[in-house]
Amino acid sequence: MLIVAGAVSLTVALGSARSQQPEEPAEPLTIEVSPNRLTIEVGEKASLTATVRNAAGVVVDGATVVYFSRARRSVAVTRGGEVEAYQPGDFTLIALVPSDPDDDSRRPDARVEVEIPVTVPKPEVERIAFTTVPLKFYAGTRPRLAVEVIDVVGDTRTDVEVSYTTSAPRVAAVDRFGFLTLLQSGTVEIVASAGGVSDTLSVAVDANPVNSLELHASAATVRTGDVVRLTAIAKDARGLTVREVPVQYGVGGQTAPGIIAAGAAAQIAEDGRFVAERSGTYTVVASTGSHSAARTVSVERREVRREVEVVGRGKVLDRHTSDLWIWEGTDGRDYAITGTWGADGHAYVWDVTDPANIEKLTEVQVDARTVNDVKVSEDGDVAVISREGASDRQNGIVVLGVGNPREGVPVLSEFTDQLTGGVHNVFISEGHVFALSAGRRFDVISIEDPRNPHRVGRFELETPAHSVHDVWVSDGVAFSSNWTDGVVAIDVGGGGRGGTPAHPVELGRYDYPSGWTHAAFPYRSHSTGKFYLFAGDESFPFGAFNPEKGGAPSRATGWIHVIDWSDWDTPRDVARYQVPEAGSHNLWIEDDVMYVAFYNGGLRVVDISGELMGDLYKQGREIAMFLPGDPQGFIANAPFVWGPQPFKGHIFFTDWNTGLWAVKLADHTGPGAIIGEPQ
Amino acid sequence: MIPQETGARRQETADAGGLPHRVAAAARLAPARSLTAVALPVAVAVGLVAAVGPDPPEQSYYVYVAAESDDEVSIVRYGPSGAENVKTISVGSFPAEIEGPHGLSVGPDGRYWYVSIAHGFPYGSVHQYETETDTWVGAVMLGLFPATLDVSPTTGLLFAANFNLHGPLEPSSISVVEVETMTEVARVDTGVRPHGGRLSRDGSFFYSVNMMDGELVELDALGFEVRRRLSLGDGVMPTWVTRPTTRGKAYVTGNNVAKIFEVDLSSWRVQRIFETGRGPYNLDLTPDGSTLVATYKAGDAVGFWDLDSGRERARTGTSRTIPHGVVVTPDGEYAFVTLEGVGADPGTVEVYRVASGERVAAVDVGKQAGGIAFWKMEE
């Protein structure tokens, strides 16, 4: 039997044990912990006492017991068995006796240990308070009340059931969701209760002054995906507009003949915005309780579908291809640069002046395994490529001269300082490179003298576990994509808050529950002037696959979020473009058309003209879809589109398994296949 | 074309010169014999077997090897028919990102193997697989760039060094994981860029080095707190520490000073210093504690040290550049060494005979072979 009494003595004992084989297995031990289960409140402490006994039941003095918690940030336990609770819930502590490493008789998993269940009840409710209260209450209407529940440790609780009562049911009824039904004028007290505490709201219900209700629509005939604004105007007996009257909207109707079992074909928002996914006739009804009004809208098919024609290719079949950039050189010819992934650190430069005859001009090789990103300056003179997997682990970026690739692509400089963690993405704006550093921040590197790059600034979030994937700069505002922290807008010279490349200033941020924020493209709509930020997800929830040559294709998920960011302080997620069978990657928007890579879902081209709301895919806004493939591809016949860029009437894109493509959209020749629409 | 920064493949021979190095203690190295790397044909694809070297073993040895730039773990066997990459397992979950498998360990009972994945959003992770089926079992997210792993034979807890190689020079930590549930149960701040980590045989202590603090750290593996720190000298960058020997010694690399430090754990001081080849990186010991094997990352060689005499009895040039990990078989006969290579070069696993330092086999695996762990021997 080996008892752990201390490190030194244990080592000596071990040496002794090794010098002679034990003739009998070590005696089995047992461990008991008192108490063997715990219930403690948040912020409270308790003590555990462990007793180790041998097979004869005799207490083993000085036995070493190791304690740990499976949720140490919720319940902690010290080496001495002192327990402290931080969060409510059910947790498990472990107490174990280390085994003898020389005891081969005992099964490896027969370690002497015991679990101690710990229950930390949810804190009691301390107070409840009404938060959102309308200014006026009118009979016949149905406003909703909101409350906030706070517990004794100061947390806002959303898991506590709230009950409501009314003191005058003839004046007002209230349901369990907090909706009031105001029946007649008078006074009433509404009480909200939770966890033994309550709050009372005195409500004076006025006679409803509404004498008539009008409903106006911004358009009577639209296409699927077009947003119609319904405006309800309530007037009193004098014909004057009545404000602060709650209006509720509903929509019903019929889809066009031939559309069967369409599902939810149209939607109406609380502010009266309407959009339809299917053609048909829809009636919107507005109600103030006492009065209602209806307006019918006719919705036609959007008919934007176009076919894709392949124009040319720059085949890369022996390795994966990453990103691309197309530009016009100083010689007036058009060029492309593409990166490679998981190979030998190459970037390729192509002449794409004639997209039907793409010509590889040169290969640039750097010490890397992946050149994940390639960017070219606005003047087409300088390119920056990123490095990952360098043999010396220095990584960083390389600056190339690309003004006239036919005359060569010289290496002007490289920059690795504090960029050792691999530069996954870069962007060039006004003589500065925005380069990601180890996936945690972006550095701003001046390349005003491209032969002497130097760091001038950086930007990093302060949130726990922050991480950055991409940065895109437009009009002096950088948009960084930060996974669970969402998209962050940063003034680097054009945001109006004094930010510069050397001293970036945050303008605002927006995150969403999935935490998949991967890329961002800022865009001001040509048709509406509205500023949107298109945030793209990237997610692979279906696990690993084999990316080797001849391996198996994979499948992504995630979509494009359309964020109305007219005000830096109040971003709103208003629409999405989601492909059911695939997930998004890089995107580009130009002339109210979005070009987006959807990995295994290929290249998608989407009409984003007009105001955007709802599910753009189901609205029939998809102009085109193209699935590249090649039986000789690095992974055969496996579309995996990385990123697109429209340029001079063509759409260039890279595909991970096949290289560079140039396609164009054929002229619209009539209604094509539209999801759920009759042919 | 950009000139290669480093690591163009070189076909070096071993150091043919003498090794008239003087060490601080009484031991003096005799000039090394002139050595020539043994050139053997290598397998370049899974399933192909290297040509059999002289005196192949009668039994087979299996190791797990991580390919850091291919997101793969390979099972390599060396046996009567030579060295062979018998299986490749894809690891990680993001096809379009290189996630960087780095450290490997096989649990004491041999039922599971563990691999650290360096990169994440932003944190890395450790993943658990069954050894017989290589089925993924579970994972736990840890700190930044978890690297070296070791599993305690007495508590079953896994210890991982959060290397944070690319982060700022601020203290990082050692994570402690309950492998039954793949739950991090403790995280202990140790120092800047902890790397290398090995448990004592009784599982009481975990030893690790802080690369940018120049320290050897002794962690109480039962109470999860730092017990002792030993400075190895100003500016020294240690990258590895061995498991303590039965004589109570541990060996630490001084990567940037071409030294290996012998530390007496009882007195907690450096007892001997060995002058080595350039860039000693990883180490392993024979089970009897008589021989220390070192990879020389900057020197493209492997060194074999007789610890009784304190002399390097052999130094052999590697067949590919950038040697990384090393593991010695439980019978003390062979040392398996990983070589990273450059760019699209495959990684390589070489097999050396410990007694002579002779390379007896080599086989290619995925790019940037690094972490390695011994699995089993079979007749």
Nearest to B2 among A68, A366, A585 (CB): A366
Contact B67, B74 (CB under 8 A): yes
Ranges of chain A whose pLDDT falls below 70: 1-27, 101, 103-110, 543-553, 669-679
Q: Which of the 8 DSSP states describes residue A449?
A: S
* B205 contact A CB<8A: yes
Amino acid, single-letter form, for residue B333: E
Distance CA(B199)–CA(B159), nearest Å, equals 8
pLDDT tens digits for range A403-421: 999 999 999 999 999 998 8
Per the CB < 8 Å rule, is B186 touching A68?
yes
**Dihedrals phi, psi of A555, to nearest 5 degrees:** -140, 130
Prediction pTM value: 0.88
Dihedral sign of CA atoms B51, B54, B59, B60 in order = negative
Q: Do A98 and B203 touch (CB under 8 A)?
A: yes
- Give the whole-number percent of chain B exceeding pLDDT 90: 82
- Measured in whole angstroms, the distance separating CA B294 from the mean position of its chain's CA atoms is 9
Count Cβ atoms within 10 A of the Cβ of residue B58 and give its class: 0-12 exposed, 13-18 middle, 19 or more buried: exposed
Report the residue from B5, B97, B154 with minimal CB separation from A392.
B5
Cβ <8 Å between A69 and B185 = yes
Tokens representing A587 are: 């995107």
Residue A676's pLDDT is: 56
* Alpha carbon of A580: minimum distance to chain B alpha carbons (Å): 19
CA distance A487 to A508: 8
Dist CA A127 CA A148 (whole Å)? 8
pLDDT less than 70: residues of chain B: 1-53
Q: Is there a contact between A4 and B343 if contact means CB atoms under 8 Å apart?
A: no
Nearest CB neighbour to A544, from listed B93, B342, B343 = B93
Nearest chain B residue to A343 by CA distance is: B344
Residue A359 burial (10 A CB sphere; 0-12, 13-18, 19+): middle
| B92 with A544: Cβ contact below 8 A | yes
Quick check: helix, strand or coil at residue A327? Answer: strand
Q: For residue B247, what pLDDT is reported?
A: 95
How distant is the Cα of A574 from the closest Cα of chain B, in angstroms?
A: 26
Query: Which of B 328-357 lie inside 8 A of A, CB atoms?
Result: 340-344
User: What ipTM was predicted for this assembly?
Assistant: 0.88
For residue B89, list chain A residues with Cβ-Cβ distance below 8 A.
none
A561 and A576 in contact (C-beta within 8 Å)?
yes
DSSP β-bridge partners for residue A426: A435
Contact A585 B122 (CB under 8 A): no
Alpha-carbon gap, residue B187 to B179, rounded angstroms = 15
Whether B91 has its CB under 8 Å from any CB of chain A: the answer is yes
Establish if B289 touches chain A: CB-CB under 8 angstroms.
Answer: no
**Interatomic CA distance for residues B65 and A216, integer angstroms:** 70
Contact B368 A369 (CB under 8 A): yes
CB contact under 8 A, A391 and B321: yes
Tell me the shortest Cα–Cα distance from A364 to chain B, in angstroms.
6
Give the distance from residue A521's alpha carbon to the nearest chain B alpha carbon, in angstroms: 20
Distance between CA atoms of B29 and B19, rounded to whole angstroms?
Answer: 7
* Chain B residues within an 8 Å CB radius of A370: 98
pLDDT single digits (tens) A94-119: 999 998 867 665 555 557 999 999 99
Q: What are phi and psi of A406, to 5 degrees?
A: -70, -20
| Amino acid in position A49 | T
CB nearest to A367's CB, from B71, B91, B343: B343
Strand partners, A190: A166, A201
| CA gap B84, B95 in Å, rounded | 26
Chain B residues closer than 8 Å to A94 by CB: 178, 185
Q: What pLDDT score does A25 carry?
A: 52
Residue of A29, A67, A367, A514 to mutate, testing the B interface (most B Cβ within 10 Å of its Cβ) = A367
The whole-angstrom distance between A183's CA and the closest CA on chain B is 54
Question: B98 and A342 in contact by Cβ < 8 A?
Answer: yes
Structure tokens at A224: 């699927």
Q: Residue B355 carries which side chain, given as an amino acid letter?
A: A
What does the DSSP 8-state code read for residue B50?
Answer: P
Average pLDDT, chain A: 91
Shortest distance between the Cα of A71 and any Cα of chain B, in A, equals 7
- Mean pLDDT computed over every residue of chain B: 87
The minimal CB distance from A544 to the residues B91, B248, B343 is found for B91
Closest by Cβ to B109, choosing from A11, A108, A364: A108
The amino acid at A562: V
3-state SS string for A471-526:
EEEECCEEEEECECCCEEEEECCCCCCCCCCCCCEEEEEECCCCCCEEEEEEEECC
Chain A's closest residue to B344, CA to CA, is A344
| Residues of chain A contacting B87 with CB distance shorter than 8 Å | none
Say yes or no for a CB contact (<8 Å) between A342 and B266: no
Measured distance CA(B117)–CA(A364) in Å, rounded: 30
> Which of A79, A94, A101 faces B202 most closely, judged by CB atoms?
A101
Q: Report the residue of chain A nearest B244, measured CA to CA.
A: A11
Give the pairing type, strands A197-206 and A186-194: antiparallel
> Is B267 part of the contact surface with chain A (CB cutoff 8 Å)?
no
| A391/B94 CB distance under 8 A | no
Q: Which residues of B touch A62 (CB under 8 A)?
A: none
Are A98 and B98 a contacting pair at CB < 8 A? no
Q: How far out from the chain centre does Cα A325 lie?
A: 25
Strand ranges inside A529-638, DSSP E: 531-537, 560-564, 572-577, 587-590, 593-597, 603-607, 614-615, 622-626
The one-letter code for the residue type at A520 is: A
Q: What residue in B sits closest to A538 (Cα-Cα)?
A: B94
Give me the residue from B91, B94, B183 closest to A540, CB to CB: B94
